[in-house]
């Protein structure tokens, strides 16, 4: 890279996935694929692979706070993505530090429910996330099960998605991207800015390999916002990126494989 080029610096605050498909690892791959410099604050270390999560070790509040301080006291941060934050103390530490440093771009991916339907946050942590992190985020990106947890209502239609997005906005979110991947038909994501809806439709891809799609989408949105794109364009570009990554997902391991974060770059380089 030529001296003097101002690369955007983007931070992910999330858990580590040792199998590389989700969490911090997926975020950093996504940042690199978008040409931004990725940094990380690790909130938890997980033992997981394509078949499931087998152990979780949460990082202490003090170490999480020190990681955030170390980044912001030294480096200009162009955007922040928040992923897995399972403990009340973790959420409070992140909210306190980000309120102190005030980054303009914060994308919150409220990781509340696993693909198997397991609740990853206890009720107190869910309430704390909504109270502390929702108001400081530029955009929150729940999927349908997460939106059901947040609104305490079932969601199975586009109309119910719209109502849920409005309800989450009323909780303090500035913008809500409600992901429709759990709908029966083609996937429709809706973006609500408090005034109007925007719709992002994609054809459902026949693959089991979708590990880390939520992490990857929110990180792609963060990267595109940091690069200067408006919110709608950032979401549109991120949807295009994740669609290609899913289309060319990787069948590794014995279970649900990851998406291909670098397919477009590898293809252009003639490596595929």
CA dist 197 to 158, 218, 224, 242, 249, Å? 12, 19, 20, 21, 30
Note if 253 is an active site residue.
no
Convert 49-60 to b/e letters by CB count within 10 Å (16 or more is b): bbeebeeeebbe
Note if 23 is an active site residue.
no
Burial of 42 (0-12, 13-18, 19+ CB in 10 A): middle
Catalytic residue among 214, 216, 222, 259: 214
Catalytic residue among 215, 216, 239, 257: 215
Contacts of 120 (CB under 8 A, 6+ apart): 84, 86, 111, 112, 113, 114
Note if 259 is an active site residue.
no
Catalytic residue among 50, 141, 213, 259: 213
Note if 172 is an active site residue.
no
Catalytic residue among 79, 212, 243, 259: 212
Catalytic residue among 128, 179, 239, 257: 179
Catalytic residue among 43, 128, 151, 210: 210
Note if 210 is an active site residue.
yes
Q: Which residues are catalytically annotated? A: 179, 210, 212-215
């Amino acid at each position: 890279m030529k001296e003097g080029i101002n690369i955007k610096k983007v931070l992910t605050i999330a858990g580590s996935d040792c199998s590389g498909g989700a969490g911090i690892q997926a975020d950093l791959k996504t940042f690199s694929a978008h040409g931004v410099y990725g940094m990380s604050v690790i909130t938890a270390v997980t033992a997981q692979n394509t078949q499931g999560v087998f152990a979780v070790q949460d990082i202490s509040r003090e170490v999480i706070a020190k990681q955030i301080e170390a980044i912001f006291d030294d480096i200009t941060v162009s955007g922040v993505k928040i992923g897995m934050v399972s403990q009340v103390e973790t959420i409070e530490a992140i909210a306190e530090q980000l309120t102190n440093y005030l980054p303009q771009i914060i994308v919150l991916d409220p990781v509340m429910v696993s693909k198997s339907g397991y609740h990853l946050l206890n009720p107190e942590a869910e309430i704390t996330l909504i109270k502390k992190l929702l108001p400081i985020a530029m955009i929150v990106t729940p999927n349908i099960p997460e939106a059901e947890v947040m609104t305490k209502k079932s969601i199975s239609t586009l109309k119910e998605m719209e109502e849920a997005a409005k309800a989450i906005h009323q909780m303090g979110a500035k913008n809500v991207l409600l992901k429709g991947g759990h709908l029966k038909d083609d996937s429709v994501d809706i973006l609500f800015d408090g005034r109007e809806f925007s719709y992002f439709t994609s054809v459902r891809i026949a693959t089991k390999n979708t590990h880390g799609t939520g992490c990857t989408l929110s990180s792609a949105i963060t990267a595109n916002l940091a690069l200067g794109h408006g919110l709608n364009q950032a979401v549109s570009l991120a949807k295009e990126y994740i669609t290609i990554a899913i289309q060319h997902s990787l069948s590794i391991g014995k279970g649900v494989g990851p998406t291909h974060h670098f397919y477009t770059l590898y293809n252009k380089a003639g490596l595929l």
